[in-house]
Amino acid sequence: MLLYILRRILYAVPIGIGVTFIVFSLVHIAPGDPISALLPNEATQEMVEAARKEFGLDRPFLVQYAIWLGNAAMGNLGTSIGSGRPVATEVASAVGNTFILAVSAGLVACVLGFLLGIVAGLWRDRPVDHVVNLITIAGVSVPHYWLAILLVIVFAVDLNWLPPLGMGPDRSGGWQFDWAHISHLILPTIATAAIPMAVIARTLRASVVDVLDQDFVTTLRAKGLPRQRLLWHVIRNALPTALAVMGLQLGNMLGGSVLVETVFAWPGTGFLLASAIFQRDLPLLQGTMLVLAMFFVFLNLVVDLVQSATDPRIRRA
Amino acid sequence: MSVTFSAMQAPLPPIEDRGGPSQPLLIARGLRKEFRLADGLFGGRTVVHAVDDLSLTVNKGETVGIVGESGCGKSTAARLIAGITPADDGEVVFDGESFWTPRTRIDAERRRAIQMVFQDSASSLNPRMTLTETLAFGPRAHGVPTAVARTYARDLLAAVGLPPSRFAERYPIQLSGGQRQRVNIARALAIRPRLLILDEPVSALDKSVEAQVLNLLVALREELSLSYVFISHDLNVVRYIADRVVVMYLGQVVEEATSAQIFAAPRHPYTRALFASKPSLDPRRRIEAPPLTGDPPDPVNPPSGCRFRTRCPIAEAVCAAAKPPLAAAAPEGEGHKVACWAAQPGSGHSLAPRPMGALQ
Amino acid sequence: MNALARIISEGSGAAPSPMLSIAGLNVAYRGGAGWTPVVRGVDLALAPGRSLVLLGESGSGKSVTLRAIIGLLREEGARVDGEVRVGGRDVNAMAPDELLKLRGNEVGFIFQEPMTALDPVFRIGDQIAETIVQHRGTSWRQAMATARELFDLVQIPSAERRLKAYPNELSGGLRQRAMIAMAMSCDPRLLLADEPTTALDATVQIQVLLLLREIQKERGTAMVFVTHDLGVAAEIADEVAVMYAGRIVEQGDAAQVLLNPSHPYTHALTGCVVQGSYRDHRLGELAGAPPDLAQLPPGCSFAPRCARRQEDCRLTDPARRPVAPRHDVACLHAADLPAGTAGGR
Amino acid sequence: MHGTFDSSDIDAVIVPVRHFSYRRVVLGRFMRQPIAMTAALILLAIVLAAIFANVVAPADPFQTRVARRLAVIGTEGRWLGGDELGRDVLSRLIYGGRISLSMAVLPVAIGLFVGGFLGILAGYAGGRTNMAIMRAMDVFYAFPSILLAVAIAGALGPGMMNGIIALSMVFIPPIARMAESVTTQVRSYEFVIAARLSGASTGRILREHVLSNVAGPILVFASSQVSVSIIAASGLSFLGLGVSPPYPDWGLMLSALRQSIYVNPWVAALPGAMIFICSVCFNLVSDGVRRAMEVRR
């Protein structure tokens, strides 16, 4: 088991390196001289020369990559063109905000998705299943940024129940556990959770149906086990798949947050990324991407390990 | 319906006999194959010795049966001989000419000399092809024009007992298991091989259909002067169809003899146990106690020395020390070989015959 | 029905009430066009402590009949009618909770493929213990102790370690032994086994077969054993019922049916058993394949393949009638068969 | 004649099905699903309307009218309202289908070709080729999909081509992974082994045996990605990474009309509704095809 964990971690290393390489390449696929992408337009000739030295832009591509990677490992992600502040600082302040949204939306998506999936799978082809199917088809198909706008139209503009923008009453950006803050969280949570919830539900339904079709379920019935015990077996068998899809969807929420945070002006990494794109602030884009992608790699690793811990069939592999 | 292979106009020329009747059709020497399972942290050490030093000779017109339980390596052996699975070591000589070695590949023309029929009749047929398309594929690959190959395919169907008027345009899903296996046999024969390797061809069939297919195989061998390597776990089937029998256990050959010899007087304790495990069909003469206890060991960590010793009723210290060679069993001499210390003169096993010198 | 009554009265003189009785069992599944009959009017009776082998090829309805005994089919969407009585109570009329008490408790079930029939993510010991806790209401610890004893009964070595193993960590033979332990865990009076040795290697198959025979005799458990293998049937059966196209075509004492088959199908089956060498003889063949159950021929469903068919076979579906004491055959021309053609030739 | 078996009895078992063609069976099964068929027809209508937009659309999508700025739904000549420049929203929605649907379908098509090719190659070749290709795919897989598209498009800058390139990069890896796994499976089937044994060339085996068996599942998977693609593509436009104004595109329209939700909320919701409808329909069609291809029993 320990060996297995080690191997999974070891396996994640080349993936992580590949990810950093792609992130690094982003600046170089941008049209024009990378130096102009890395510095503000009004940069002086000295600044250009200094940057050329610092980033090793006169050196071969791979050396540049090594220098950049070394800097990134030390926490130096460059300087934001837009704000002039270090990218690391910008990202650090945004990560916490995204985290709040991700946890809240993740909880909603996992719990609802899990319940809907199990119910639909157990009552396959019954009315409940059809209703869940309707909900989840809509869920996987909905453009979440549009859903966000709809929610704002209905609950903020029309009904005036909930605030349309921001993450709190003041613009400070701090988080507190009170209604003023929670009310700001509700709409972004729904918009972020919609697609992952539907994907989790659909995957879990398929998984439950799959489990129910297996021979051992007949054995369980032939043993005279009551329904609730049967349910436990089914859930336990569907669990590895459920965990895997949940982890993956949690990661995908990071991607979806770019759009939802933009709509709600939620000051997280997604919002940061959108403004980086809007201002063509490539160092900021690069830094944010690096942090998010590395987190995703880490998340995948955790999911993998948790999955293998819950599935004895792959424990020895 | 009365189409037979001999009357059929085959679009492919037969493969010329080169070595003459006394030259064995197939000689396989020292075949070896390891499968690496999960990799360890730095390169794997979990290795399954699927086939370990297998040698086999098939004479012209002969059927060699390979018997063994699941995991004994008999199916791997078949794929090694046919050259589908690359071997780690060994070579196959076909009619006096090298068929493959670990370094050489087989060219397409000579490859058709050895064909296979598999156990799973369903996955052996492309579900998207009609029977005509399936049977025409091989000849077309060898340059036969499509129209000719399709006509030939219909004749082939007739020759294995499936009237083309009703079967030619069918898909595999529309056939029963026995019918599919007939098609598989026809497909293998379509490019006129000289050796057919049959890997458990009747194991998945109902008993009543099994007999049909076995009779077909016997008739075809006669008619087309084929040779067979017939692999099965079923002793009765092997006994029926084979001239010579090879018994495998955990990747190694433990006994080899003519069908008559081995069924009359099995020498290896595993072969004996295998025979004794076969129910009698007579409720009045039942087996009282199982001849062996336990399951075959994990092929990942086979026992040292003789691999059968952990289940062997006559195992002694010498059996753990070294692997017994496959050698002529003393009294019968010619042709009956067994890998057991109890049959090797002077091996140190208490049941071993005394060395030849001492006897005279 | 009167044939049934006769079997019951003759079955075992001292014990008049049968452990199992089936009367007029019909099972149909929903097919492409309407319902497809899979079991067509099966009558059976089995006295306590006896073993009955249901013998047949794929699609003969033998496994379906077996599943009907504990009412598994209705939950799978099949249409079932007829009477299935276990210990005198009609299974098809049971309330759901009564059915739960029957299954696993009074009736044990062993499946063909222990790899897929055991839950892959639960430990073997837990899967046995949960059955015991469910039916006996013991504590988990007690149940595990019982499981431990059961492992001794089915001769699994290193029981402690094996109880904690997952199904994929055991060999095929051990898995099937564990399956038997599970089926026996509540000391059932009736054991149902669906080809329990088919997936096993020859040397392991005979071990499991003899173990099952021994346990069944020692504990006095009645058993219905489904197989396609005549040899297996010969090893374990007190009585044999041969099924073809959803019907029992021949039934009687094992020795009678296997050595003196009276139905042309049974006769042909015994003739198909591979024996000897090709040099000596050609194998007996049974031409064709079983009929499509959705489109059964009129009359006797074996008639199209029958070597002895006559005109009336295509018209009349034969009922079962005795040809000897405790030996029934459903064939219009059973009497025409030469007697004592053991082995088929 | 071999032996005594009577071939007429062999046939007694099987119901003869004449001209059983896989494609026709699948098509037949698809047409028998009312929901999937309705979705397919709606999609067809939207696509046809987009193609023949110059005939169908009631007004010029570029013509601004100050008087009709943010006109409400039902206004004469602006039946679905007017946008921030007074252009006809209905016409822009119809024309918008051209860019929005192309940006959704093209990346998946590219992903299907490139990913399908790589996956089949990796699956059939196995060994090191497989390792090299699939590990490279894993790296792209290690990004949340929309994030990767946003990052690449963000670096490349706005423009329809850039958007399509960015999205293609997103769809190649999952399609390759899918193609690899089905090909690996098909390759292990005995009919492929038998074909190899017959001496047929690799190209012939791939063409005649492998492709016909992997194409279906890969296509179905790719079709299920179109709905993801349409959401992502319009998302890029929404962020200003797709086409530039004044070209009509649903994502771009949504982004522009978002500013006016306090004035004219329901008109603002319309472009999103189009994205949603198309996405739902693509999903339903894909589900329908998958169900039609499922082997019964």
- At residue B38, the pLDDT reads 57
Residue to mutate among C36, C265, C272, C295, with most D CBs inside 10 A, is C295
Position D69 pLDDT exceeds 90: no
End-to-end CA distance of chain B: 63
The reply to whether residue D194 touches residue B116, judged by beta carbons under 8 angstroms, is yes
The mean pLDDT of A278-288, rounded to a whole number, is 85
Residue spans of chain B under pLDDT 70: 1-3, 6, 37-45, 330-333, 355-360
Residue to mutate among A141, A202, A294, with most D CBs inside 10 A, is A141
Query: Helix, strand or coil for residue C109?
Result: strand
| Dihedral (Cα; C196, C199, C200, C205), 10-degree rounding | 40
Whether the CB of C280 is below 8 Å from some CB of chain B: the reply is no
Separation CA A217–CA A229 (nearest Å): 11
Query: Helix, strand or coil for residue D30?
Result: helix
Whether the CB of D9 is below 8 Å from some CB of chain C: the reply is yes
- Amino acid, single-letter form, for residue A12: A
Position D146 pLDDT exceeds 90: no
- At residue C225, the pLDDT reads 96
Position D13 pLDDT exceeds 80: no
Closest residue, chain A, to B37 (C-alpha) = A317
Separation CA C39–CA C37 (nearest Å): 6
- At residue D179, the pLDDT reads 95
Confidence label for C252 from pLDDT (cuts 50, 70 and 90): very high
- At residue A113, the pLDDT reads 95
Q: Which residue has the tokens 């869940």?
A: A132
Whether residue A151 contacts residue A187, with contact meaning beta carbons closer than 8 Å, is answered with: yes
Whether residue C273 contacts residue B206, with contact meaning beta carbons closer than 8 Å, is answered with: no
Q: How far is D209 from chain B (nearest CA, A)?
A: 7
Whether the CB of C304 is below 8 Å from some CB of chain D: the reply is yes
Closest residue, chain D, to B139 (C-alpha) = D198
The reply to whether residue B259 touches residue C275, judged by beta carbons under 8 angstroms, is no
Position A316 pLDDT exceeds 60: no
Task: Report the b/e string of B280-293 with b at 16+ CB within 10 A.
Answer: ebbbeeebeebbbe
Separation CA A313–CA A316 (nearest Å): 7
Return the CATH number of the domain spanning residue range B22-113+236-280: 3.40.50.300
Confidence label for D17 from pLDDT (cuts 50, 70 and 90): very low
Mean pLDDT, chain D, integer = 85
All domains of chain D in start order, with CATH: 12-292 (1.10.3720.10)
Looking at residue D244, the DSSP 8-state letter turns out to be P
Q: Which residues of D touch B128 (CB under 8 A)?
A: 22, 212-213
Q: How far is B88 from chain C (nearest CA, A)?
A: 28
The mean pLDDT of C270-293, rounded to a whole number, is 82
Residue C115 lies in a domain: yes
Position D3 pLDDT exceeds 50: no
Separation CA A256–CA A254 (nearest Å): 6
A-contacting chains (≥3 CB pairs under 8 Å): B, C, D
Whether residue C241 contacts residue B318, with contact meaning beta carbons closer than 8 Å, is answered with: no
- At residue B271, the pLDDT reads 94
Nearest to C121 among A218, A229, A311 (CB): A311
pLDDT tens digits, C199-240: 888 899 999 999 999 999 999 999 999 999 999 999 999 999
Distance of CA C125 to the CA centre of its chain: 27
- At residue C341, the pLDDT reads 42
pLDDT tens digits, D180-194: 999 999 999 999 999
- Amino acid, single-letter form, for residue D185: Q
Residue C169 lies in a domain: yes
Domain ranges of chain B: 22-113+236-280, 305-360
Separation CA A29–CA D166 (nearest Å): 11
Name the phi and psi angles at C20, rounded to 5.
-135, 135
Whether the CB of B101 is below 8 Å from some CB of chain C: the reply is no
Q: For Cα atoms C58, C63, C67, give the angle at the middle one, nearest 5 degrees.
A: 160
- At residue C343, the pLDDT reads 37
Nearest to C290 among D3, D6, D13 (CB): D13
Query: Helix, strand or coil for residue C21?
Result: strand
ipTM for the complex shown: 0.86
Query: Helix, strand or coil for residue B322?
Result: coil
Q: For Cα atoms D16, D22, D27, give the angle at the middle one, nearest 5 degrees.
A: 115
| Interface size between B and D, measured as CB pairs under 8 A | 107
Helical spans, DSSP H, in B258-301: 259-264, 269-276
Range of the domain at C144: 107-187
Distance of CA A186 to the CA centre of its chain: 18
- Provide CB contacts within 8 A for C7, sequence distance 6+: C45, C326
Write out residues 29-88 of C within 8 Å (CB-CB) of B.
57-58
Nearest to D235 among A143, A278, A296 (CB): A143
Domain ranges of chain A: 19-73, 91-316
Measuring CA to CA, which residue among B243, B262, B213 is closest to residue B57?
Answer: B243
Position C322 pLDDT exceeds 90: no
Written as six digits, the tokens of A67 are: 């220098």
Q: How many CA atoms lie within 13 A of B32 on its CB side?
A: 7
Q: How far is CA C321 from CA B76, B119, C2, C252, in A?
A: 51, 40, 10, 11
Residue to mutate among C70, C115, C121, with most A CBs inside 10 A, is C121
The reply to whether residue B207 touches residue C57, judged by beta carbons under 8 angstroms, is yes
Domain count, chain C: 1
pLDDT tens digits, A126-176: 999 999 999 999 999 999 899 999 999 888 888 888 887 777 776 655 677
Whether the CB of A212 is below 8 Å from some CB of chain C: the reply is no
Q: How far is C97 from chain D (nearest CA, A)?
A: 31
pLDDT tens digits, A189-207: 999 999 999 999 999 999 9
Position D214 pLDDT exceeds 90: yes
- At residue D185, the pLDDT reads 93
Whether the CB of A312 is below 8 Å from some CB of chain C: the reply is yes
Residue C331 lies in a domain: no
Confidence label for D294 from pLDDT (cuts 50, 70 and 90): confident
Nearest to D258 among A142, A149, A280 (CB): A149
Query: Residue D49 belongs to what H/E stretch?
Result: helix D34-51
The full length of chain C comes to 345
Name the phi and psi angles at D8, rounded to 5.
-65, -30
The mean pLDDT of C70-87, rounded to a whole number, is 88
Separation CA A200–CA A216 (nearest Å): 24
Q: How far is D156 from chain A (nearest CA, A)?
A: 5
Measuring CA to CA, which residue among B339, B332, A146, B12 is closest to residue D253?
Answer: A146
Q: Which residues of C touch B37 (CB under 8 A)?
A: none
- At residue B18, the pLDDT reads 85
Whether the CB of B97 is below 8 Å from some CB of chain C: the reply is no
Measuring CA to CA, which residue among A189, A235, A197, A194 is closest to residue A113?
Answer: A197
- At residue D14, the pLDDT reads 42
pLDDT tens digits, C149-195: 999 999 998 899 999 999 988 888 999 999 999 999 999 999 999 99
Confidence label for C337 from pLDDT (cuts 50, 70 and 90): low
Whether the CB of C307 is below 8 Å from some CB of chain B: the reply is no
Separation CA C331–CA C343 (nearest Å): 20
- At residue B110, the pLDDT reads 83
The mean pLDDT of C228-254, rounded to a whole number, is 93
pTM to 2 decimal places: 0.87
The reply to whether residue D139 touches residue A15, judged by beta carbons under 8 angstroms, is yes
Position A63 pLDDT exceeds 90: no
Write out residues 101-140 of A within 8 Å (CB-CB) of D.
137-138, 140
- At residue A172, the pLDDT reads 56
- Provide CB contacts within 8 A for B227, sequence distance 6+: B25, B26, B58, B59, B60, B61, B62, B63, B64, B194, B195, B196, B221
Q: Which residues of B touch C201 (CB under 8 A)?
A: 69-70, 233, 295-296
Written as six digits, the tokens of D112 are: 């299907």
The mean pLDDT of A281-297, rounded to a whole number, is 87
Q: CATH: 1.10.150.20, 1.20.1090.10, 1.10.10.10, 1.10.3720.10. Which one for A91-316?
A: 1.10.3720.10
Whether the CB of D231 is below 8 Å from some CB of chain A: the reply is yes
